[in-house]
Chains A and B, each alone.
Chain A
Amino acid sequence: MTTASVFSADLVGSAVVDAFGKLSPRALVRNPVLFTTAVVALLLTVLLATGTERLPFGFQVQLIVWLWLTVLFGTFAEALAEGRGRAQAASLRATQSDLVATLPDGRQVPAVRLRRGDEVVVVAGELIPADGEVIAGVASVNEAAITGESAPVIREAGGDRSAVTAGTRVISDRIRVRVTQEPGQGFLDRMIALVEGAERQKTPNEIALTILLVGLTIIFLIAVATIPGFASYAGGSIPVAVLAALLITLIPTTIAALLSAIGIAGMDRLVRFNVLAKSGRAVEAAGDIDVLLLDKTGTITIGDRQANELRPLRAVAAAELARAAMLASLADETPEGRSVLVLVREKHGLATGILPPDAEIIPFTAQTRISGIKGPGGLMQKGAVDAILRANPDAAASAAAEELRRLTEEIARSGQTPLAVAQDGRLLGLLALKDVIKAGVRERFAELRRMGIRTVMITGDNPLTAASIAAEAGVDDFLAEATPEDKLALIRKEQKGGRLVAMCGDGTNDAPALAQADVGVAMNTGTQAAREAGNMVDLDSDPTKLIEIVGLGKQMLMTRGALTTFSVANDVAKYFAIIPAMFVALYPGLDVLNVMHLASPHSAILSAIIFNALIIPALVPLALKGVAYRPIGAGPLLARNLAVYGCGGLVAPFVGIKLIDLVVAGLDLA
């Protein structure tokens, strides 16, 4: 995202208008620091109107204008952040408003009248009127309205692909849907609320930060309110406007003005990333994750296994096994079957034969777990080792079976999946299928380790295979032969140890684990139960995104921390600008504290206030884009951010105030 898009003309235009709308006391009071600033600005305005201050009129006017601008910049930042989500919300709302539902009896009613438990019928070409579960039929559905992905997806009754979302279009067939949401609480409604930031609740860290900002405001209020007493001892008095200027520059206006913009922008980034979080709390928790549970298939390995090697029994020639394996796979159209042909061609120089016309194809079934062909060359079988042995009881009793079992274990230990090959009931050997680790995952896991996050691979494989894949992929731990109950137990165990756990899942049986996890990302293709249980939904159904979600959560926290540190560090320079200006009339010697050599007391005060106001819009792009997160471990990250935002926060205002002072003095403004 570029700065240009942050500040596109129409977004800025509408944000300016909204910024004024947010000046109402009721809206302002949500932000105590800005509220204080507004009260002070109002007080000075009244003092100016009544003419009670003994200061030059022009100076007072400028001071007041800049104070109000400080408040406006704050409301503007929030409005700008909200504005970016609003266009998206508008198109979603348009989709929602003209939804019509067809009841099973053929009556048509507006979608807003549907209640939980109602049933509707949707046919090709129609929009699905409400969130629900397919209870009969199968259809392909275009979910572009929600996900932006135009390739249709299959939705069918039963199983893990039964959830449908309001506003998506059925493009083939006819389905019967049971509504699962009350009106106004559907997915679309939630998405609209989210991108608009309307229902945004403060996250726990945001609340704590607000408390700190209020605390600092109170402390500085005490510091400033006691100055008149001190000054009277020294035989002088300090104008209210000058005290007000000191107060406003000291209280953390910068971070207070940008705080909600950071939160809204963080959620917005997530939405643009096609992930929907149900609360800001979940995004923040993502930053705190200690343990990441990742499903092996699809996340760590590509979905399909590849034939890797042939292991003939001692009494069998390699070429014989290769030929049998090739013939048994000729009719196998799965990627695994294709990879067998590639293997025998490339490693054993065997030309891929063509399927003999009179051959009988034995298809793979979940019951037999064997596939192959029966043709002129005889019966060629390929399948799970125990299935082949069961199908050939004579061979199972032979010495060859013993050898086969030994080889099986060897292959399993090397992280591969063994398939037995038999010809006419005689065992020939094994075919080793290898899981292919996705490119770059090893590096990603190393990165996560540096971030302090432990990765745990979840797989249905046996422990031997799982251990080998885990070692190859570089995950820290694995859970083999995992059932949903095992997953839940693992999450509970980690949480008991004080760690926060993230996982993703899609099936109904994942729902308990998704609900238990601190961050549960449900795949959009999953069941309604899973989508309800998770606290985020990934519209792209891409389990690797979990890693990016963690990064986004961290980025949001870091941006807050960086701007808070910057804001607090700024105070040093502001003290050195205003304190000498304030007291030089009482003790002329105090001019030595004017280390910036600001032109005059009035210009010093004005420059500090101007800097304090201008730094807000200057930091808006950073607040909206977020501080760059690098997975380099907490120590180096802290060193880097402290150097940039801590030391930068100390130095920047010295430079900034001096430059502004040159302009103010040059233009003779004070």
Chain B
Amino acid sequence: MTIQGWMLIVLFTAIAVALARPMGAWLFALYEGRRTPLHRLLGPAERAFYAMAGIDPGEEQGWRRYAVHMVAFQAVLAAFTYAILRGQAALPLNPRGLAGQDPHLAMNTAISFATNTNWQSYSGETLSNFSQMLGLTIHNFLSAATGIAIAFALFRGFARREVGTVGNFWADCTRVTLYLLLPACIVYALFLVACGVPQTFTSNVDLTTLEGARQTLVLGPVASQEAIKMLGTNGGGFFNANSAHPFENPGALTNLVEMLSIFAIGVGLTDCFGRAVGNRRQGQALLAAMMALFLAGTAIAYWQEAAGNPVLHHLGVAGGNMEGKEVRFGIAASALFAVVTTDASCGAVNAMHDSFTALGGMVPLFNIQLGEIVVGGVGSGIYGFLLFAILAVFVAGLMVGRTPEYVGKKIEAREVKLAVLAIAVLPLCILGLTAASAVHPLGLAGPLNKGPHGFSEVLYAFSSGTGNNGSAFAGLTAATPWYDGWLAIAMWIGRFFMIVPTLAIAGSLAAKRFTPETSGSFPTTGPLWVGLLIGVILIVGGLTFLPGLALGPIADHLAMIHGQLF
């Protein structure tokens, strides 16, 4: 580990925390439906959308209506993308004449983007610009906007008193897209272009290298997709190499900004939550717990990657683990990127997680298994975290001798039931599908490596899918009907079987009376609460995966110490 490495980590953390407040203020304006400076410019567009779709943005929806509209919207969008991917060959903007995707691959891709996962069983280079721009990029925006809308609905559940509604899905989705994602991405994309990221309709350039070889470079509207891929925690790269590719991530500055943009909305939502419930310290407590988990993960990953592989040390190769890393970024920036992208449900990578040391690679895996709630995906991170907050309040809240309350709302049987239901989805899909793949011949055909490392590859795939991360451990032949199919199911369940109970909680909370805080109320700000929250997340959310981790990365690591590599 180096001073420079740690300085990068500290700098990143400081900027990320500092982003919380301004981003939170902006999100809060959208949450409340207030006018922003951008309304003068974009207000007519917003009204035009509502008029075209016949939507009254002021019409309040109950949680059921909100959920039905949201799921229906995503299902229609997924079907639309499926059609584009299948029919790519016949569609415009396809100068390379690329063929359409197989049915199972197209289904996997469509669901993957609709669920904000961006798991890529295909290589980015096999898609036409039309498919990338219309088929995928709309999801990058709308799945992110949907996540934020769900978070808004849950915030309203906590903030509202004795009402039956949680907001209007269409209004939330439109406002977030129009006043946050779109303008931010335009500025962000221009910044990336200035740093050297291509933005062009030219899809390929033939050139002669210095050695005289002929090479074809794939180009395209990269910068625009790159911006939303990061900001919306989507993670689906324009190129297969994702953010390790120099056209996606040209240098140190873009690398830092890309990492920050993964966290930007997530940290802002913690502040927005605090504002929504009328006590910004509530949001700060959540952010503090997230940052503690983030720094712990980063420290472990960086330490393991910097320590490197003892087997190679014996062979005289000194230094940390550089396998699968871009030399432009090095160990610290790669370890940090890996933790950031998995703490959030982004899934963009600037190094290959499969090539990390066993324990270094376990950190991203564990982050995903916790549900990607440490800052987390846009929206999904904070609502996942709040589910754990509900459980933590319930388990420990009784210890102060009152019916547990969180930010003024009593946590009762219905909320506990729904929170457990939502949280149980993760182990069910991740562990269940991994176990099935570990015994079924079609599943066993996937991993390229043997032993515990191969097991980690399968476990990582289903964790990434269910958690809607989308990063891959690589080393897994995933473009098969078995993995395409099951991963698509995992992604769909991981997304919507978590969102629907979350919305139900929002509805149930919104209908409740507000209980004013007294000195007898359970304190949900301050270090004690932060520690408790972390404890519950690790014990309830994390311990379940210990058997799997023991047989995967931990066994892998111990074998490495004994000189055996997989």
- Residues of A at the B interface (CB closer than 8 Å) are 204-205, 207-209, 211-212, 215-216, 218-220, 222-234, 284, 287-288, 290, 449-454, 497-499, 553-555, 557-558, 560-562, 564-565, 568-569, 571-572, 575, 579-580, 582-583, 586-587, 589-590, 592-593, 629, 633-635, 637-639, 641-642, 645-646
* A579 CB contacts on chain B under 8 angstroms: 546-547, 550
B544 and A220 contact, CB distance less than 8 A: yes
* B431 CB contacts on chain A under 8 angstroms: 222-223, 226
A575 and B519 contact, Cβ closer than 8 Å, known pairs A219-B424, A637-B399: no
Interface string of B430-442 (1 = CB under 8 A from A): 0110111011000
How far apart sit A575 and B518, CA to CA, in the bound complex (Å)?
Answer: 38
- Cβ of B474 within 8 Å of any chain A Cβ, yes or no, is no
- Residues of B at the A interface (CB closer than 8 Å) are 161, 391, 394-403, 408, 411-413, 416-417, 420-421, 423-424, 427-428, 431-432, 434-436, 438-439, 444, 451-452, 454-455, 458, 513-516, 518-523, 526, 528, 532, 535, 539-540, 543-548, 550-551, 554-555, 558-559, 561-562
A583 and B519 contact, CB distance less than 8 A: no
A633 and B401 contact, CB distance less than 8 A: no
B522 and A638 contact, CB distance less than 8 A: yes
B401 and A558 contact, CB distance less than 8 A: yes
How far apart sit A635 and B514, CA to CA, in the bound complex (Å)?
Answer: 20
A635 and B424 contact, CB distance less than 8 A: no
Q: How far is the CB of A589 from chain B (nearest CB, A)?
A: 3
Contact of B391 among A212, A454, A593 (CB under 8 A): A212
How far apart sit A497 and B436, CA to CA, in the bound complex (Å)?
Answer: 53
How far apart sit A568 and B561, CA to CA, in the bound complex (Å)?
Answer: 33
How far apart sit A560 and B404, CA to CA, in the bound complex (Å)?
Answer: 12
A634 and B520 contact, CB distance less than 8 A: yes
How far apart sit A433 and B77, CA to CA, in the bound complex (Å)?
Answer: 81
16 contacts between A and B (CB under 8 A): A211-B413, A223-B431, A226-B431, A230-B455, A231-B551, A452-B520, A558-B400, A562-B399, A569-B539, A572-B539, A572-B543, A587-B558, A589-B561, A634-B400, A637-B401, A638-B523
B540 and A216 contact, CB distance less than 8 A: yes
A575 and B543 contact, Cβ closer than 8 Å, known pairs A204-B412, A230-B455, A583-B551: yes
Closest 6 CB pairs of A and B: A452-B520, A561-B398, A229-B435, A554-B401, A215-B420, A589-B558
How far apart sit A568 and B436, CA to CA, in the bound complex (Å)?
Answer: 28
How far apart sit A646 and B403, CA to CA, in the bound complex (Å)?
Answer: 19
B417 and A568 contact, CB distance less than 8 A: no
CB nearest neighbor in B for A205? B403
* A223 CB contacts on chain B under 8 angstroms: 427, 431, 544-545, 547
How far apart sit A538 and B327, CA to CA, in the bound complex (Å)?
Answer: 78
A215 and B417 contact, CB distance less than 8 A: yes
* A590 CB contacts on chain B under 8 angstroms: 550, 554-555, 558
Contact of A451 among B438, B520, B548 (CB under 8 A): B520
A287 and B403 contact, Cβ closer than 8 Å, known pairs A223-B544, A634-B519, A635-B528: yes
How far apart sit A572 and B538, CA to CA, in the bound complex (Å)?
Answer: 10
* B400 CB contacts on chain A under 8 angstroms: 554, 558, 561, 634, 637-638, 641
CB nearest neighbor in B for A227? B547
A587 and B555 contact, CB distance less than 8 A: yes
CB nearest neighbor in B for A210? B413
CB nearest neighbor in A for B447? A233
B540 and A633 contact, CB distance less than 8 A: no
A587 and B551 contact, Cβ closer than 8 Å, known pairs A208-B416, A212-B395: yes
B550 and A208 contact, CB distance less than 8 A: no
Contact of B401 among A208, A227, A565, A629 (CB under 8 A): A629
A589 and B402 contact, Cβ closer than 8 Å, known pairs A218-B424, A229-B436: no
A212 and B416 contact, CB distance less than 8 A: yes
CB nearest neighbor in B for A641? B399
CB nearest neighbor in A for B519? A452
A560 and B558 contact, Cβ closer than 8 Å, known pairs A226-B431, A284-B403: no
How far apart sit A207 and B414, CA to CA, in the bound complex (Å)?
Answer: 10
* A204 CB contacts on chain B under 8 angstroms: 403, 412-413
Q: How far is the CB of B429 from chain A (nearest CB, A)?
A: 10
CB nearest neighbor in B for A495? B513
A634 and B521 contact, Cβ closer than 8 Å, known pairs A287-B402, A557-B401: yes
* B547 CB contacts on chain A under 8 angstroms: 223-224, 226-227, 230, 579, 582-583
Having A229-B434, A234-B455, one finds 19 other A-B pairs with CB under 8 Å, namely A218-B420, A219-B544, A222-B432, A223-B431, A226-B548, A232-B438, A232-B439, A233-B458, A234-B555, A290-B516, A497-B516, A498-B514, A557-B402, A561-B396, A565-B396, A565-B399, A582-B547, A635-B526, A638-B399
B558 and A592 contact, CB distance less than 8 A: yes
B539 and A568 contact, CB distance less than 8 A: yes
B403 and A288 contact, CB distance less than 8 A: yes
Q: How far is the CB of B88 from chain A (nearest CB, A)?
A: 37
How far apart sit A555 and B548, CA to CA, in the bound complex (Å)?
Answer: 40
CB nearest neighbor in B for A500? B515
A634 and B523 contact, CB distance less than 8 A: yes
A453 and B520 contact, Cβ closer than 8 Å, known pairs A227-B547, A638-B396: yes
